[in-house]
């Protein structure tokens, strides 16, 4: 059992498009923290000083009151965190996972879970992540970026054909949960896909599509956990397949040759360290028919819901959900 004197502030919600996913993560983590005996205070920084008195309000889909980034500043700089030993970050997406909240907490001198400012910012920016991958010999699909002021779609189509052809993936450069992502099969889809991606980011990433299996690997304290394969029941592993029970099948450990498992785990550790992650993260891959692996991205604050992948991989390594949460806290302390 944890020391009762350790007070944890569980930060949930936030202002990103992944606000609802964050609430689901927070709900699971809260239960584990209570079971472990920590003192817990739930805070949604997006509400500022106007925090709900009723704890259940933090996890409702409908917002309890107005949310804003200014509120987040007020919440972090207020007395709400005065009696807190550690912040457990259950936030996802822009503002929670990109170094923003981390920098506020650093200014307050507060300890928090997960990666620090620079690694959070690097991992959230898919283009910068890929540049680091290339430097550290982590294989990644070919890509180029489109800025908000680029609207010559014929030029974009020509670049796609020149660099890798169709199908290709167009997605926001700094968003998660496959929000704003499109798999383009041809010229006709490019304009709408770029516009959709740019709704969620000032930069769109255009990436070579890798046909193959969807794999992911969690790293916990420099140990690569068993490889997990994701099999969506239809289409690809989009928002619906991620967060709807029964929409995807998860196989852990993945049924792949031992040498390939070893290679993937090595690549995951390389990716983890290439952006300077701390304690834990989840690294996503595609694996072709001839067992070539391509690293897609690093998630520094991966989901911790009942459908989330890191707890499944931890369980396959003999680590319970409570132990996983406890190790993340002890590492941060």
Q: What is the CATH number of the domain that holds 193?
A: 3.30.1490.20
In the set 208, 238, 284, 326, the catalytic residue is 284
Catalytic residue among 115, 120, 274, 299: 299
Q: Answer whether residue 117 is part of any domain.
A: no
Residue 236: is its pLDDT beyond 80?
A: no
The token pair at 21 is 């996913």
> How high is the mean pLDDT of the chain?
93
Strands 86-89 and 7-11: parallel
Residue 249 has pLDDT above 70, yes or no: yes
Q: Among 193, 208, 223, identify where a domain stops.
A: 208
Residue 1 lies in a domain: no
Residue 188 included in any domain: yes
Final residue belonging to a domain, choices 208, 235, 256 = 208
Does 229 share its domain with 199? Answer: no
pLDDT (0 to 100) of residue 70: 96
Residues in the chain: 333
Residues 297 and 274 sit within 8 Å (Cβ to Cβ): no
- Average pLDDT estimate for 105-125: 97
Separation CA 293–CA 272 (nearest Å): 16
Strands 203-208 and 143-147, by their bridges, are antiparallel
Please confirm, yes or no, whether 282 is among the known catalytic residues.
yes
Whether residue 96 is contained in a domain is answered as yes
Cα four-point dihedral sign 135, 100, 268, 296: negative
**Predicted local distance difference test score (pLDDT) of residue 145:** 97
Q: Are 218 and 196 within one domain?
A: no
| Count of structural domains within the chain | 3
Per the residue annotation, which of 96, 282, 293, 326 is the catalytic one? 282
Q: In the structure encoding, which two tokens stand for residue 201, read together? A: 């980011």
Kindly name the residue from 237, 243, 250, 291 that is annotated as catalytic.
Answer: 243
The DSSP output letter for 306 is T
Residue 254 lies in a domain: yes
- pLDDT (tens digit per residue) in 9-54: 999 999 998 999 999 999 999 999 999 999 999 999 999 999 999 9
Q: Residue by residue, what is the 3-state secondary structure of 98-159? A: CCHHHHHHHHHCCCECCCCHHHHHHHHCHHHHHHHHHHCCCCCCCEEEEECCCCCHHHHHHH
Q: Could you tell me if 257 and 320 lie in one domain?
A: yes
CA angle, residues 70, 72, 73, in degrees to nearest 5:
65
The predicted pLDDT at position 83 comes to 94
CATH number of the domain enclosing 107: 3.40.50.20
- pLDDT tens for residues 304-317? 987 799 999 999 99
Q: Do 163 and 269 fall within a single domain?
A: no
Same domain membership, residue 153 and residue 263: no
Do 216 and 204 belong together in one domain?
Answer: no
Question: Are 194 and 171 in a shared domain?
Answer: yes
User: Are 157 and 287 in the same domain?
Assistant: no
Is residue 312 domain-shared with residue 248, that is, in the same domain? yes
Give yes or no: 112 in active site. no
pLDDT at position 211 is 96
pLDDT at 229: 97
Q: Is 83 a catalytic residue?
A: no
Residues 225 and 283: beta-carbon distance below 8 Å: no
Distance from C-alpha of 163 to C-alpha of 158, rounded to nearest angstrom: 9
110-139: b or e for each residue (b if 16 or more CB lie within 10 Å)?
eebbbbbbebbbbbbbbeebbebbeeeebb
Within a domain: 131: yes
Q: Decide if 299 is catalytic.
A: yes
Residue 240 pLDDT exceeds 60:
no
251 has a pLDDT exceeding 70: yes
User: Is residue 214 annotated as a catalytic residue, yes or no?
Assistant: no
Per-residue pLDDT for 246 more than 70?
no
Q: Is residue 2 assigned to a domain?
A: no
Residue 118 covered by a domain = no
Active-site entry in 14, 16, 18, 114: 18
Among residues 208, 224, 254, which one ends one of the domains? 208
CATH number of the domain to which 318 belongs: 3.30.470.20
Confidence of residue 247 (pLDDT cuts 50, 70, 90): confident
How far lies 114's CA from each of 38, 147, 280, in Å?
18, 30, 6
Under the banding of pLDDT at 50, 70 and 90, the label for residue 285 is very high
pLDDT band at 244 (very low <50, low <70, confident <90, very high): low
Q: Judge whether 18 counts as a catalytic residue.
A: yes
Quick: pLDDT tens for 123-178: 999 999 999 999 999 999 999 999 999 889 999 999 999 999 999 999 999 976 57
Whether 243 is a known active-site residue: answer yes
Residue from 44, 98, 208, 297 carrying the catalytic annotation: 297
User: Where in the sequence is the domain holding 259, given as residue range(s)?
Assistant: 123-138+212-332
What lies within 8 Å, CB to CB, of 154 at 6+ separation is none
Same-domain status, 221 and 88: no
293 and 286 in contact (C-beta within 8 Å)?
A: yes
**pLDDT for res 4:** 55
What's the mean pLDDT in 90-100? Answer: 94
For position 241, what pLDDT does the model report? 45
Instruction: Check whether residue 240 and residue 328 sit in a common domain.
Output: yes
Same domain, yes or no: 84 and 216: no
Catalytic annotation, pick one of 13, 26, 48, 303 = 303
């Amino acid at each position: 059992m944890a020391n009762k004197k350790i007070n944890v502030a569980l930060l949930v919600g936030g202002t990103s498009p992944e606000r609802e996913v964050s609430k689901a993560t927070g709900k699971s983590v809260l239960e584990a923290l209570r079971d472990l005996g920590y003192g817990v205070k739930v805070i949604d920084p997006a509400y500022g000083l106007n925090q709900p008195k009723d704890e259940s309000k933090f996890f409702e889909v409908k917002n309890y009151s107005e949310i804003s980034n200014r509120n987040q500043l007020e919440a972090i700089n207020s007395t709400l965190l005065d009696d807190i030993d550690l912040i457990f970050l259950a936030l996802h997406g822009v503002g929670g996972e990109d170094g923003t909240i981390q920098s506020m907490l650093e200014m307050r001198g507060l300890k928090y879970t997960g990666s620090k400012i620079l690694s959070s910012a690097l991992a959230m920016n898919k283009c910068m992540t890929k540049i680091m991958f290339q430097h550290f010999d982590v294989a990644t699909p070919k890509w180029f970026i489109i800025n908000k002021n680029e609207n010559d779609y014929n030029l974009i189509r020509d670049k796609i054909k020149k660099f890798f052809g169709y199908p290709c993936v167009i997605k926001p450069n700094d968003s998660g949960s496959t929000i704003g992502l499109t798999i383009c099969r041809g010229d006709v889809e490019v304009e709408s896909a770029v516009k959709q991606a740019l709704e969620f980011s000032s930069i769109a990433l255009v990436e070579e599509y890798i046909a193959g299996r969807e794999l992911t690997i969690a790293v916990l304290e420099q140990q690569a956990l068993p490889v997990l394969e994701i099999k969506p029941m239809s289409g690809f592993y989009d928002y619906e397949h991620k967060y709807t029970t029964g929409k995807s099948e998860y196989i852990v450990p993945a049924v792949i040759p031992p040498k390939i498992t070893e290679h993937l785990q090595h690549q995951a550790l390389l990716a983890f360290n290439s952006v300077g992650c701390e304690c834990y993260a989840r690294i996503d891959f595609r694996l072709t028919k001839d067992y070539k692996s391509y690293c897609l991205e690093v998630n520094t604050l991966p989901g911790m819901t009942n459908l989330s992948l890191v707890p499944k991989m931890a369980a396959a390594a003999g680590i319970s959900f409570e132990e996983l949460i406890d190790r993340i806290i002890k590492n941060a302390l």
